[in-house]
Structure 1
Amino acid sequence: MSGLMAPQATASLSIWLKYLEELHTSAIDLGLDRVKAVGQKAELLKPAPCVITVAGTNGKGSTCAMLEAILIEAGYKVGVYSSPHLVRYNERVRINNQELDDSEHTKAFASVEAARGDISLSLFEFGTLSALTLFKTHQVDVVVLEVGLGGRLDATNIVDHDVSVITSLAIDHVDWLGDNIDVIGYEKAGIFRSGKPAICGQPHPPATVPAHADDIGAELYQVGYQFEYQIEDNHWNWQCGAFDLTQLPLPNLPLPNAATALMALGAAELDISEENIINGLKKAQLPGRMQRVSEQPLIIMDVAHNPHSAEYFANQLSKIKQKEGKNKIHAVVAMLHDKDIASTIAAMRDTVDDWYPASLTGPRAATAEEILQHLPANCVGFDKPESAFDQALTQAGEDDMVIVFGSFYTVGQITSHLS
C-alpha cells in the first residue's frame, strides 16, 4: 500500500492530480485485474443503460464527438470520456458536451480512493473509474468511452458495453503494442463482446479482427461489406443493407469516422431520426482536429502525430490551399520521441513550405534536433512550440497558412499560448 496521504475530497484538482501521478509506479500499466476489482466493488461496470466503446489508432476522438452531437440532438443525456486532454484535465469528461467543475472531479476521485483500498491504480485507471463514477452520479442515458491505448487491456474495457467500435488500424504506440499490424488488430478487437455489435471502420483490416469477432460470436459490421458510404460534391450518402441515408451534410470531422459513428448508432438501436443525424453532423467539432483558430493568416491546429493521421492532415491542407487560394504553408511541429517521426514528417513534406520544429519537455519528449534530422538542412530549431509559433507568425503573410501539429502536447501548448 502506498505511503502517500490521500487528499480530502475538498482539496484542489491540482493537488489530487499530483497525488494520482505519484500513487502508481508507472503512468501506463496495461492489465485489467486491479482496475476491474475496484470497478466491481464500486458497481461501475455498467454506468449507463447504453455504453459505446471506441478504439482505434486514429479517429477515436472525432468519432466520439459525432456520436455525442447526434445523441444530444436526439434528446439523450450523454457522457463522454476521452483522453488525453489538450489544456485542462476537465476536458476528459463531458456531460452533454459540457465540462464539469473541479469539485465534481475531486469528489469522484475521493469516491474511487475509498473504494480501492490497498489496490494500486495508475493515473489513467483512476481517471477512468472517476469518469464512470461521474456518469453514474449524473444518471446519463448513453456513455461513449474512448479507449486510451490498445483495447484488450485498456482500463475502459472493464465496462459492460453494448456496442464496440474500431475506427482505424495503423502502427503506433510501438513500445506498448509492437509493430505487427496483426497483433495490433487483435489488441483493438479485444473490446468486442459475444453476441454484441462490433463496428470496424478500417477498410481491409488485418485478419485478426474478423477472426476474433468470429471466435467470440460478436456481430461484425465491416465498412465496405455490411455498411458503406459515398461522397458526392457537397454531400454524402450512407447505406446499411436496405437502409439508406442520402444528401447528408459533410461534417467538420473526417468522413470515414462519421460513417462509422452512424453504424454504431444504428447497431445500438437507439431512437434517432434522420433530422437528428443531419443536425448532429453539422454541429460536431473537436478542439485540435482540423481546428481553425484564425483566418489571416489562416491558422489550423491538428493533433496528427503518426504517419496515418499526418497523411490525412496533408491531404486536407492541400484541398484548403487550392480551394481558398492560399500561398505558403508554415508548419510548427513538436513530437514525442516514441512516435515515428521520420514517416510522420515524410507524410507532410510535400505539403509544407517552411518548417519550425520545436522541443517538447518531459521524459517522452523529442528535441528539435531529433526532428531536424528529417527536415531540409536550412531549417532552424526552437526550444519550445510557443517560440516556433511566434516565429512562424512573423514570417507568414496574410494569405499564407500556419499549421500546428505533432502531438496533443504541441496543440495544447499553443492553445494556452493563444488564450
Structure 2
Amino acid sequence: MTYQEALHFLYTATPVFQREGGGAYKPGLETTRALDSYYQHPHTAYRTIHVAGTNGKGSTSHSLASILMAAGYRVGLFTSPHLVDFRERIRVDGEVVSEEFVTRFVAEVGPLVEQHRPSFFELTTLMALVYFREAHVDIAVIEVGMGGRLDSTNIIQPLLSIITGISLDHTQYLGETLTAIAGEKAGIIKAKTPVVIGHAEESEVRQVFVKRAQELCAPITFADEEVVVSTVEPQPHGQLFMLDPSSAVLSTPPRLLSTPTVFFGLQGSVQRLNLRTILSAVHLFPSVGLDVPEEALRVGLQEVALRTGLRGRWEIVERDPLLICDTGHNEEGIRYVTEGLRALGRPLRIIFGMVSDKDITSALSSLPPEATYYFTEASVPRAMPSGELLRLAMECGLRGRAFPTLASALETAQAERERGDVLFVGGSNFLVADLLEYQSTHKL
C-alpha cells in the first residue's frame, strides 16, 4: 500500500465529517474504546493535556505544545481539521507524522475497520495516540474534535483539562443553548483533575462548569479571574500584552512571570482571550508535575507558528498588498475577525465562503457592511453555493458578487483592488485551505 492509497482508504472507507458533515458524525465512545483496547491503550504510555472549546482550542493547543517543547519535553500534538496535508493533524515536536507510519497503520487497521466501522475521526484519533506511543513522547496535547463528552478523544485521562470558551456552533449536534453546549464541553472534566475555563461570561454557563467540577472534585480555574490584560500593542510578528499587576500569574506563588509584559507570536484580537487561557493553564503546570521555566514560556509563546506549524490564525499571507486569512467560521469567531479588520483602518475587500451547516445569517450579520465582498465556495461538498450565500448576504445588508471558486474570487479582488486596500479570505477552514494550496502554485 502506498501513502496515497492509505489516504484514499481513510477518505472512502470511513465517514468524514470534514467533507460530509452530519452524515459522518458518530457520537459515543464505544468504537474508540474497542480500537483503543486492541492497541493496548496507547495513551497510558505518556501524559496528556485535553483541550476543548468552541473557539480558540487550536491556537491554545499549539501554544501549549510550543511552550512544552521550549521547556525540553518531547511533545505530541493532535488537532483537527487539517488545512492542506492530512499529516498536519498529528505532530511530534512540530514535525508531521511520517507517510510511512500512516501507510503502515492503515494497512494494519483494515480488519478493524470492517469489524467496527469507525468514523474518520475515530480512526485518526487512534492513529495519533498510537503514533505518540511509538514516538516516545513525554506528553501529548490532544484537541477535542467536537463537543467533548462523546468525542473520540475523551477516552484519555489527562493531567489537565482546558475548555477555551463556549459559543453557539454545531447546535444540531451539541444543543441549541449555551448551557447545553457547556454541558457537552464539561464532559471532558475528569475526577480530581484540574480544569481551566478560558472564556465564560454568562453566569449560567459558569455554573454548569462549577457544578460538574464539584461533582468530580476537580479543581476549577477561570482564566478571567487569573489573568487581567491591561493593554495590547500590535507588533509586526505578534502582539505585546501588558498584564495588570493584580493577575495571579504575577502575584500568586509560584509566580509565572517576573515582569508584566508578554509577547505572543500570534496575531488577531481573539488571542487576548487565548493568552489568558494559556497563562492560566501554565500557572497550574507545577501542580501537575510539569516544569516550565519563565524563559521557556516566553520563547514558546513567541515562536508558536515556527515550532508547531500553526497556520490560518490571522495569518498575513502577503504584506504588499496586504492579504490576511483567518479560519474563524462562526458568529463569535467572525466578530473577532471584523474587530481586527476594522482596526486596520483601511478599505476592505473580503473573499468569503462558509459551509452549509453553520448559522450563516448570524455569521454574515457579524461582518463589516462597509466592505466589498466576493462570495465564493470552498472545494468541499459541505460548502454553501456562492449564489445562495450572496442572497443571504444581501439580506444582511452586504454588497458583493458570487464566484464559483476561491481562485476566481481572489483574482478578481486582486485586479480590482486599489492602493491601500486590504484583502481578506475567511469564513471557513476549507476556504483558507484552498487559499494556502493556491498560494503554493501561484504568485499572489
TM-score by length of 1: 0.91
Is 1:288 the counterpart of 2:312? The answer is yes
SS at structure 1 position matched to 2:188: coil
Match of 2:40 in 1: 43
Structure 1 contact 70–279 (Cα < 8 Å) conserved? yes
- Between the aligned partners of 1:167 and 1:342, the Cα distance in structure 2 is 24
Match of 1:334 in 2: 353
Give the direction of change, closer, same or farther, for the CA distance of 1:266–1:110 in structure 2 (3 Å limit).
Answer: farther
Report the alpha carbon displacement of residue 256 of structure 1 after superposing the two structures with TM.
1.5
Give the gaps of 5 or more residues in structure 2: 16-22, 233-239
- Between the aligned partners of 1:24 and 1:418, the Cα distance in structure 2 is 30
CA deviation vs aligned residue, 1:350-403 (integer Å, no higher than 9, x gap): 4x5210001234442201122212235752100111211111111112421100
Match of 2:262 in 1: 248
Equivalences for 1:288-327 in 2 at 5 Å? 288-319=312-343, 321-322=344-345, 327=346
Is 1:380 the counterpart of 2:401? The answer is yes
Match of 1:235 in 2: 241
- The letter for the 1-side match of 2:215 is D
SS at structure 2 position matched to 1:145: strand
SS at structure 1 position matched to 2:148: coil
Task: Say which of 346, 358, 371 aligns to 2:365.
Answer: 346
- The letter for the 2-side match of 1:125 is E
Task: Say which of 294, 302, 308 aligns to 1:274.
Answer: 294
Match of 2:385 in 1: 367
Tell me the percent identity. Answer: 30
TM-align CA RMSD = 1.9
Structure 2 contact 199–224 (Cα < 8 Å) conserved? no
Give the direction of change, closer, same or farther, for the CA distance of 1:401–1:47 in structure 2 (3 Å limit).
Answer: farther
Structure 2 contact 330–359 (Cα < 8 Å) conserved? yes
- Between the aligned partners of 1:228 and 1:196, the Cα distance in structure 2 is 21
- Between the aligned partners of 2:222 and 2:118, the Cα distance in structure 1 is 35
Report the alpha carbon displacement of residue 67 of structure 1 after superposing the two structures with TM.
0.5
Match of 1:155 in 2: 152
Report the alpha carbon displacement of residue 173 of structure 1 after superposing the two structures with TM.
0.7
SS at structure 1 position matched to 2:76: strand
Report the alpha carbon displacement of residue 290 of structure 1 after superposing the two structures with TM.
0.3
Structure 1 contact 332–356 (Cα < 8 Å) conserved? yes
- Between the aligned partners of 2:3 and 2:53, the Cα distance in structure 1 is 30
Equivalences for 1:18-417 in 2 at 5 Å? 18-24=8-14, 26-44=23-41, 46-113=43-110, 118-205=115-202, 206=205, 207-225=207-225, 227-233=226-232, 234-237=240-243, 238-240=247-249, 242-243=252-253, 244=255, 245=257, 246-253=260-267, 254-269=271-286, 270-285=290-305, 286-319=310-343, 321-322=344-345, 327-350=346-369, 352-373=370-391, 374-375=393-394, 376=397, 379-417=400-438
- Between the aligned partners of 2:223 and 2:436, the Cα distance in structure 1 is 35
- The letter for the 1-side match of 2:409 is A
Larger CA deviation: 213-222 vs 56-65 = 213-222
CA deviation vs aligned residue, 1:90-147 (integer Å, no higher than 9, x gap): 1101111111221121223334446667222111100000011110000001100110
SS at structure 2 position matched to 1:294: strand
Give the direction of change, closer, same or farther, for the CA distance of 1:402–1:271 in structure 2 (3 Å limit).
Answer: same
Report the alpha carbon displacement of residue 19 of structure 1 after superposing the two structures with TM.
1.9
- Between the aligned partners of 2:44 and 2:242, the Cα distance in structure 1 is 34
Structure 2 contact 196–221 (Cα < 8 Å) conserved? yes
- The letter for the 2-side match of 1:331 is I
Structure 1 contact 203–223 (Cα < 8 Å) conserved? no
Match of 2:236 in 1: none
TM-score by length of 2: 0.86
- Between the aligned partners of 1:175 and 1:109, the Cα distance in structure 2 is 31
- Between the aligned partners of 2:398 and 2:276, the Cα distance in structure 1 is 42
Equivalenced residues, count: 402
Report the alpha carbon displacement of residue 32 of structure 1 after superposing the two structures with TM.
0.2
Query: Between Structure 1 and Structure 2, which shows a larger proportion of helix residues?
Result: 2
CA deviation vs aligned residue, 1:58-115 (integer Å, no higher than 9, x gap): 0011001110111111011111000001111011011111112211212233344466
Give the direction of change, closer, same or farther, for the CA distance of 1:301–1:47 in structure 2 (3 Å limit).
Answer: farther
Larger CA deviation: 54-63 vs 177-186 = 177-186
Report the alpha carbon displacement of residue 17 of structure 1 after superposing the two structures with TM.
2.7
